[in-house]
Amino acid sequence: MTKVLAFDLGASSGRAVIGNFKNGKLGLNIIKRFDNEPIKKENSLYWNFDQLYQHIKDGILYAQEDNKIQTLGIDTWGVDFGLIDEFGNLIQNPKHYRNVQTDEVFNRISDFISLQELYECTGNQVMKINTLFQLLALREQEPKNFFKARKLLMISDFFNYKLTGKMRTENSIASTTQMTNPYSKKWSKKIIDSFNLNSQLFPEIVDEGNNLGIIDPSLELGNVQVINVSQHDTASAIISIPFTEPSIFISCGTWSLVGTELEHPILNKKAREYNLTNEAGYDKTTDFLKNCTGLWIVQELKRNYESEHLDLTYDQITNLAKKEKNHCFIDTDDDIFSSPGDMRKKISYYAKQTHQLAPNTIGGFFKCAYESLAKKYQKTIDEIELTTNMKFQKIHIVGGGSKSEYFCQMIADVTNKKVLAGPTEATAMGNILIQLISLGEISDVKEARSIVSNSIELKEYIPKD
């Protein structure tokens, strides 16, 4: 039996997962869960690097107690980064994307390059949280820290560096920065030069599956190889989707990534107008998608009620929402919903501004959030079909959202497409599958997806009239 270890750092929590591969089937064992909450300091949010690094080391040691793991891989969400000084140290805890102040820089982008040219150079959905805009804002707001920097490392790259001492950037995580060429999968000289950035700041980009090296023996964590998996969590999740035909995928968690897998990038006028993104997939493929707000609003509503000592389970939330008829639809991607806070007040304000009837019950607020998100998926899928000139019959939903039968059926009904739900731990599973390919235990992604089909049972939802 081959055993490998995946660390998946999600938007609110992290997990250490052992993958057990035997007789053509893959089993997952979650050995450690931990919080991944940002630190709040002087009205800013920062990654809690020290705590997360300790969780990673603890997870490795715990995995070694009963298992002999051969490799490990770390995935995170994209866009956020840390800066390393001349001595190889982190200059400061990186800022969390939910609290970066990029508006002023974003509004002056045309001083350097047009938004059209920016899209044509990178293929990335233009979002204020993207690494490029965060970096430019840091140069203006904290020049002392910016000019100390000798290297920029994405979050997962930094943890790999702490374990091995090697600075590399993996392909998929690099493609979230708005600074790479979607065809060559390398740093874009045009973007770096246009914004007067130092090319030495950016490490070599390596492919997913690259064997970065053995964990530094001085850490006393065992003789384990660190693999550059598809370090963008979405790219890892897509590896685990058992496609049998071209389909839509929805990686549904705090964020929702709605898209399809293509052989080549699409940079046409429709793609730019719809703000669709081209990110690097496995083996030079393109994950053609849109980043949408996911279950964030639902999660914040749940926290709002918990702060008032009303602890609701998701089953209770579903039962309350089922009883309601929704009269209010919100744009879940509106800036008003992007930051933490009382979502009930924000929804009510949005309803008033758009001349709608605001919810006035617990179930009503959740119903509004779920139905609005399903409508957002429908709109995004329509845009992808128009841009690709393809008509998709199936939607694969993976991640935490795939566990909600209520929401999956709603998506099937709203989009009028068959929904296949699972795997839930798609990101960790994809992370593990890439490690197994790197070890030679699995030949390629086609075989990996066949193994997923043998290892889990997908739940099917048929649209109702």
Active site residues: 233
Phi, psi of 20 (to 5 degrees): -110, 115
Give the single-character DSSP code of 13.
E
Burial category of 210 from C-beta neighbours within 10 Å (exposed 0-12, middle 13-18, buried 19 and up): middle
Kindly state the tokens that stand for 5.
Answer: 């270890």
Helix (H) or strand (E) holding 146: helix 143-148
Helix, strand and coil content of the chain, in percent to the nearest 5, comes to 40, 20, 35
Q: Rounded distance, CA 315 to CA 459, Å?
A: 18
Helix (H) or strand (E) holding 73: strand 71-75
User: Parallel, antiparallel, or unpaired: how do β-strands 13-22 and 2-9 relate?
Assistant: antiparallel
Phi-psi region of 185 (alpha: psi -120 to 50; beta: other; left: phi over 0): left
- What is the rounded radius of gyration, in angstroms, for the C-alpha atoms of the chain? 21
Residues sharing a CB contact under 8 Å with residue 89, sequence separation 6 or more, in sequence order: none
Question: What SS3 state is found at 187?
Answer: strand
Is the CB of residue 28 less than 8 Å from the CB of residue 40? no
Cα 306 to Cα 48, 100, 283, 314: the distances in Å are: 24, 26, 44, 13
Residue type, 284: K
Question: What SS3 state is found at 422?
Answer: coil
Residue 207 CA to its chain's centroid (Å): 18
Q: Rounded distance, CA 292 to CA 176, Å?
A: 14
Taken in order 350, 353, 357, 360, the sign of the CA dihedral is positive
Residue 12 CA to its chain's centroid (Å): 12
Give the single-character DSSP code of 8.
E
Residue type, 83: L
Kindly state the tokens that stand for 63.
Answer: 């995995």
Neighbours of 142 (CB within 10 A): 15
Residue 155 CA to its chain's centroid (Å): 12
Residue type, 57: K
Question: What SS3 state is found at 125?
Answer: coil
